[in-house]
Structure 1
Amino acid sequence: MSALAVDLIFNFLNSRNVYEFDLLALIVGPIYTYSTGSKQHLYVNHPELVKEMNHCISSELGKPSYITKRLAPMLGNGILRSNGHIWSQQRKIVAPEFFMDKVKGMVGLMVESAESLTSKWEAYTESEGGKMVEIKAEKDLRSVSADVISKACFGSSYLKGKEIFSKLRTLQKAITKQSFLFGSHAFRLLSTGHQKKIEHLEKEIETLILETVKERESDCEENKDLLQLILEGAVNNDVDKESSKRFIVDNCKNIYFAGHESTAVAASWCLMLLALHPQWQARIRAEMAQVCDDNGGLDSDSLHKLKTVTMVIQEVLRLYPPAAFVSREALQDTQIGHIVVPKGVCLWTLIPTLHRDPNIWGPDVNEFKPERFVNGISGACKLPQVYIPFGLGPRLCLGRNFALVQLKIVIALIVSKLDA
């Protein structure tokens, strides 16, 4: 789970503002204030203050309410959008299901989905007589990501999960038709017909999820899927029946965005950069030949041996982080370093600027050099706290382990079986 997914949506809607922020930072420095209408904002890209934000408690900084309000049909009041006590309660229930020991149990279904993709692409090249063919990977990578989430979340109801996520994708497109972060867009209203379409999709998705929940309430399978585990977590934490239903509906939506969008985007960038640097493809293939079992497969025990794949992914996430912004709102008067941030002020941190600062990463900051991560993040730069592809602070991406394991599997299998 991840607040990063919301930031990812913001990035899609407002990509031009990344450059505006960057230009302003060059002119006035890494800390400045500005306003949009009556809303006050603080831009914070000073490394030491970013480090301070990492130490803020959950009651101090949350998601900006004026933004997340428009995302309510897509995210409900789930963990990506909620603040305060509700967010803390949801995190307590959801976070344990994404600890590494649980993620290792999902490796098999991740491998299954990735191998299905590589088989599809291999069949396509064979149908063309083994010649070089062009594959538009983005759509297929999104499908793999959705496939993994569907299997992990819905298990035996996998097909219903696919239907739910298809409708969620349609809902996402409907909601993100208009930019709403800055300027006059913030006050633009949707047409009645468009709003009705959104409401209809919202009800359809809720009905499908609740049908699946009802099936789960009488399910006694030993290998429980993510939906069952979260449902049990809600019951064990004394969430009443009505609130439990709302909790499940909202967080199923949230899991989709947290585990689907950002992973698919990162995988696309990985393949693009590997296509431009074939020497790294060769290194991954050599590593896979050493790591894989006799059948050429991957398992949870072999993943930590994929050092080259890990370095490539870390470098891709540095150069092209899935989200451009980390956005927070001060839920109370908050001290960040030497700055007192009044309640209601929104803070913005621009991730690409931190990830491409030559004073932190060196003069080769804009080059694709995975070897900079050979000794981990602490060895790659002067200030490890500015490497924040999964966000920062107490709302750091809960699905970080899930995303990294899935990326490792997808990239390792595609590169080892296909030439880019």
Structure 2
Amino acid sequence: MGPTPRVIIMDPDMIRDILFDNKTFPKPKGQPLMKLLVAGLAFEVGDQWAKHRKIMNPAFNPLKLKTMLPAMYLSCLEIVRAWETLMPPKGSCEVDVWPYLANLSADVISRTAFGSSYEEGKRIFDLQKEQVQLISQISLSNYIPGWRFLPTKINKRMKEIDLEIRVILRDLISTREKKLKDGTMKTY
């Protein structure tokens, strides 16, 4: 954008090459506020990239993904049942599928990553939506370096949201670890 050249790649093989080799393809530095929304492998560089890649790799093994299919199926089944309740006994109806599909993604992530349903992780997703709205408000104004450190109402709320999300995720992870040790939960 502007004086900074950008390349957009749509070829899956090229994208894979870029994600596998972070030394040849350095990641652009984004706005610091974006770290409150997006973090992880796509934005890491150097040793951090290698560390995250090593951690994430086993989760996307095809055999591991196959074990997640029942959880994904259950999430889909719940949505289909919800749609069936909307249908009149005879006839048809129009359904806005967008909220259901957004919740489907969240439900699948909750079930496969944390062993909980969307309802249990709903607070995290609600907080993330609020965080997106706050960052959108800020990004509409002129960005001033260091602005995020000022104790404005929006900045304070964004920090509160970030902290609350971290606490909830830690609780979900520790609960899952306990259940895995007890043998009351199957692993993905």
TM over 0.5: yes
Which residue type is aligned with residue 162 of structure 1? Answer: K
Sort the Cα spacing of 1:121 and 1:52 in 2 relative to 1 into closer, same or farther, 3 A: closer
**Partner residue in 1 for 2:86:** 124
Q: CA deviation at 1:85?
A: 1.0
Higher relative contact order (CA 8 A, sep 6+): 1
Sort the Cα spacing of 1:201 and 1:132 in 2 relative to 1 into closer, same or farther, 3 A: same
- Name the TM-score, length of structure 1 as normaliser: 0.38
**Partner residue in 1 for 2:5:** 42
Q: CA deviation at 1:116?
A: 1.2
Q: CA deviation at 1:94?
A: 0.7
Q: CA deviation at 1:156?
A: 4.7
Using the alignment, how far apart are the partners of 1:114 and 1:158 within structure 2?
Answer: 12
Sort the Cα spacing of 1:51 and 1:79 in 2 relative to 1 into closer, same or farther, 3 A: closer
Q: In the alignment, which of 68, 72, 76 is matched to residue 110 of structure 1?
A: 72
Sort the Cα spacing of 1:157 and 1:121 in 2 relative to 1 into closer, same or farther, 3 A: closer
Q: In the alignment, which of 151, 163, 168 is matched to residue 203 of structure 1?
A: 163
**Partner residue in 1 for 2:26:** 62
Q: CA deviation at 1:150?
A: 0.7
Deviations 1:211-251 (A, max 9, x none): 223334433136225xxxxxxxxxxxxxxxxxxxxxxxxxx
Q: Which has the higher strand share?
A: 1
> For the Cα contact (< 8 Å) 2:115–2:176, is it kept in 1?
no
> For the Cα contact (< 8 Å) 2:131–2:161, is it kept in 1?
yes
Q: In the alignment, which of 35, 43, 47 is matched to residue 72 of structure 1?
A: 35
Q: Which has the higher helix share?
A: 2
Deviations 1:121-166 (A, max 9, x none): 121112xx43332211111110111111111111157654333223
Sort the Cα spacing of 1:197 and 1:135 in 2 relative to 1 into closer, same or farther, 3 A: same
**Partner residue in 2 for 1:142:** 102
**Partner residue in 1 for 2:51:** 89
Structure 2: runs of 5 or more not aligned: none
Using the alignment, how far apart are the partners of 1:200 and 1:43 within structure 2?
Answer: 34
Which residue type is aligned with residue 134 of structure 1? Answer: E
Q: In the alignment, which of 100, 117, 126 is matched to residue 166 of structure 1?
A: 126
Structure 1: runs of 5 or more not aligned: 1-16, 18-33, 36-40, 226-420
> For the Cα contact (< 8 Å) 2:22–2:46, is it kept in 1?
yes
How much identity, in percent, do the aligned residues show? Answer: 25
After TM superposition, list the pairs within 5 Å mapping 1:148-187 onto structure 2. 148-156=108-116, 159-179=119-139, 185-187=142-144
Q: CA deviation at 1:80?
A: 3.2
Sort the Cα spacing of 1:172 and 1:131 in 2 relative to 1 into closer, same or farther, 3 A: same
Q: CA deviation at 1:200?
A: 0.7
**Partner residue in 2 for 1:384:** none
Which residue type is aligned with residue 105 of structure 1? Answer: T
Which residue type is aligned with residue 132 of structure 1? Answer: S
Using the alignment, how far apart are the partners of 2:80 and 2:91 within structure 1?
Answer: 16
Residues matched between the structures, number: 179
Which residue type is aligned with residue 62 of structure 1? Answer: P
> For the Cα contact (< 8 Å) 2:107–2:117, is it kept in 1?
no
Using the alignment, how far apart are the partners of 1:94 and 1:51 within structure 2?
Answer: 20
Using the alignment, how far apart are the partners of 1:224 and 1:198 within structure 2?
Answer: 33
Name which one, 1 or 2, has greater alpha-carbon Rg. Answer: 1
Which residue type is aligned with residue 64 of structure 1? Answer: P
Using the alignment, how far apart are the partners of 2:95 and 2:155 within structure 1?
Answer: 36
Which residue type is aligned with residue 73 of structure 2? Answer: V
**1:133 equivalenced with 2:133 (yes/no):** no
Q: CA deviation at 1:169?
A: 2.5
After TM superposition, list the pairs within 5 Å mapping 1:364-403 onto structure 2. none
- Name the TM-score, length of structure 2 as normaliser: 0.78
Q: CA deviation at 1:87?
A: 1.0
